[in-house]
Amino acid sequence: MAKKDYKKLSDDIIAACGGVDNILSASHCMTRLRMNLKDSSVLNLEEAKKIPGVINIIVQNGEQQFVIGQDVPSLYEEVIKNDIKAAGSVDDAEALKQDSQQKGKLVETVLSYIGGTFSPIIPVFIAGGLTGAVLSLLQTFAGLDASNGTVFVLSAIQQSMLYFLPIYIGFSSATRLKSNGYLGAFLGAVLLYVTLNRGETLAFIGIPVASIGYNGQIFPVILGTLFMSVVYKFLQKNLPINLRTIFVPLITMLITVPVTLTVLGPIGYWVGTALANAVLAIYRFAPAVAVAIIGATTVWMVFFGMNNATYPVLFLLLAEVGSDPLICTGMAPANVAVGGACLAYALLAKKEEDRQVGIGSGITALCGITEPGVYGVLFPNRYPLIGAMVGGGLGGFIAGLFGLTQYVVAGPGFLSFAAYMNPDGTWTNFIGMMGVMILAVVVGFAVTYVLGKRQQKKAA
């Protein structure tokens, strides 16, 4: 397969977007190049989808997402060489103007906000989560104990991922809201500082500060940055320009921090606790059905860009039960079932180009990245979609039936095998998850192959 020319792909995408002057900012997640345009009507979606190297284009709340694949960072590096600003660093005047022009639907706006907040910090989740898996392997096979320096360092990497979550989310959320990302991170750090002193009785100008541990929490800092962005943009717009540098950040934090600590933080904590209890209640009532639904519908969540919206639930589960028996556990068979469906499609394909697409996207899906398969194979051809849903649903049902789980945050798939190893050294969960994923691949492949053969006979 020929090596991609990222310079040409970058030039083609920029031209399709109306040139550098029409691009407010650019960013990327695991597989997508995300572009914010001044005038989105310039982009001809159908023509842009024909650009070699572009798998599909998804539009969410005014953002154009070019589905590229796992090599999207290489493309992004070429894009920003054209003096295109990173997302969140657009000029305040441009950001305010763009905000006033966007009139997305409420649900789409919320999902886009959640996805845009969590996507940039996925590498942190993967690095921290899989370090925990490596730590489990070392303790199991190398006999290292907690007093070992190597164990301490690796444990620091793992624990810091979850403990300092409010800082990462604060930065990413504020950046997504076109506010100041560093002030968002600052807000997260303040919440953690208060967490360290939560055993003391605190009050701010006589108003009690709730004794809450904000480490690993999501909703308190999200509500705080939402409020902070309103304050920040108001001050940025109304203060004289020569006073903004000093007084915008000062006044923003002096207003935001007390409101977050006394009102928004506790509300976010209670909302998160209630949501966690509700999710756990559903899972405990019918675990097999709950995980099966995730397994069968993951491909649809990926297609509509909703998969990142599940991260809040995932972290709530990690905080409450210490692992994720629902989201990643259901997505694991779903992802590898896409791989099975794509490989079956490749076997049936008549054209060499289609065969290569099926093989490439199939292997990628087995590793946990499904966008190439979802957009390049499943939805354009339909019958592989059915195969993947059946394989993912059945695998999820069995995983839920036997109470299997994923212990750390990692891309669900065979490549993250260590994430399914129980820290206590037992092998039951690992063997069970490997068996479930192998079954999902086989079922996804078999159903797709049978349906594909039937379709070919009808077409003959």
Q: What is the pLDDT of residue 105?
A: 61
Which region among 72-86, 180-194, 274-288, 307-321 has the lowest average model confidence (pLDDT)?
A: 307-321
Q: Which amino acid is at 266?
A: P
How high is the pLDDT of residue 107?
A: 63
pLDDT at 98 over 80: no
Instruction: List the chain domain ranges.
Output: 6-90, 164-280, 286-459
The H-or-E segment that residue 67 falls in is: strand 63-67
Count of helix runs (H) and strand runs (E) in the chain = 20, 6
Least confident of 15-19, 310-314, 354-358, 390-394: 310-314
- Residue 342 pLDDT > 80: yes
Band (pLDDT 50/70/90 cuts) for residue 119 is confident
Average pLDDT over residues 365-375: 88
What is the predicted pLDDT for the residue at 390?
A: 97
Across 101-110, average pLDDT: 59
What pLDDT score does 92 carry?
44
Nearest Cα neighbor of 215 from 182, 198, 197, 191 is 191
Amino acid in the structure at residue 147: S
More confident site: 43 or 388: 388
- Host H or E run for residue 97: helix 92-101
Amino acid found at 285: F
**Higher confidence at residue 15 or residue 211?**
15
Tokens 């860009």 — which residue? 305
CATH code, residues 6-90:
3.30.1360.60
Q: Is the pLDDT at 176 greater than 60, yes or no? A: yes
Q: If you average pLDDT over each of 97-106, 239-248, 369-378, 433-442, which comes out highest?
A: 433-442
Residue 95: band (very low, low, confident or very high) from pLDDT cuts 50, 70, 90 = very low
Say yes or no to pLDDT of 305 above 80.
Answer: no
Long-range contacts of 103-107 (CB under 8 A, 24+ apart): 104/60, 104/61, 104/62
Using an 8 Å Cβ cutoff, are 34 and 27 in contact?
Answer: yes
The predicted structure's pLDDT at residue 24: 86
Residue 62 or 387, more confident: 387
In the predicted model, what is the mean pLDDT of residues 434-459? 94
- Widest Cα–Cα separation across the chain: 80
DSSP secondary structure letter of residue 1? -
* pTM metric for this prediction: 0.75
User: How much is the pLDDT for 60?
Assistant: 72
Look at residue 250 in the predicted model and tell me its pLDDT: 95
Q: What is the pLDDT of residue 137?
A: 75
Q: Looking at residue 87, what is its pLDDT?
A: 63
Q: Point out the least confidently predicted range of 64-73, 162-171, 199-208, 270-279.
A: 199-208
Q: What is the pLDDT of residue 399?
A: 97
91, pLDDT greater than 50: no
User: Looking at the predicted structure, is the pLDDT value of residue 68 above 80?
Assistant: yes
Q: What angle is formed at CA 210 by the lines to CA 209 and CA 211, rounded to 5 degrees? A: 115
DSSP 8-class letter at 86: B
